[in-house]
Amino acid sequence: MLLVALRRIAIAGAALLVLCAAGLIWFAAAPAPERRSAPTDAIVVLTGGSLRLRTGIDLLREGKGRKLFVSGVNQQVELDELLRTSGNDPDESADWASCCVTLGHEADNTLGNAQETARWVRGQGFHNLRLVTAWYHMPRSLLEFQRAMPEVEIVPHPVFPEQVKQQHWWAWPGTATLLMSEYLKYLAALARPLIGSPPRAEPVKAIEPARAELQR
């Protein structure tokens, strides 16, 4: 009887392992969402690399959004430092950045990004936004953002960091580890409503505009 139970546990474990491996392959190989050219009310950048911020600023300059919101900025980082990181001259960018760029300092994870952005978007009265983050982070980001603001249209705009290899990703230890971690986080976010009530975005409250960052 014990051997039968152990055999069943082993079979179930093997099946689960195969399922997880197949899911990881699907996750890593899934094509990135197509970038749409139509402008949106806002552009939202999730911190995590200079390419994301540089892309967000380029989109703003191209007229792809009326305002740019950068979510998850460290409390000690100011706008001029972010502009310098993205390759822009803070002195040349200060005028347009102070009117059109807002920094969010409250989020420290993807769920926090979604809730922080939802407060800002609702406070602005926007109906759609363009979400800029890395391609491997986009599935979980879209999941959290759509839950936090189901009434807002989310347009994905993935970026592709050179250090994260899409082709033959399994042959690159750093990329493979990153994708495995992101896949597990995606599964956890997907399962969260099944194990408890899904969190709701907090009530709208003011977020300091970029101009205040420049005046510090």
pLDDT at 199: 58
At 87, list the tokens: 């390759």
Could you give the CA distance from residue 212 to residue 216 in angstroms, rounded to a whole number?
7
Point out the residues of the chain with pLDDT beneath 70: 2-21, 76, 78, 80-98, 196-216
Could you give the CA distance from residue 209 to residue 105 in angstroms, rounded to a whole number?
11
Bridge partner list, 71:
46, 104
pLDDT tens per residue, range 95-130:
666 678 999 989 999 999 999 999 999 999 999 999
**pTM for the whole structure:** 0.79
Superfamily grouping for domain 40-163+200-211:
HUPs (3.40.50.620)
pLDDT tens per residue, range 166-193:
888 889 999 999 999 999 999 999 998 8
Secondary-structure breakdown of the chain: helix, strand, coil percentages, each rounded to the nearest 5: 55, 15, 30
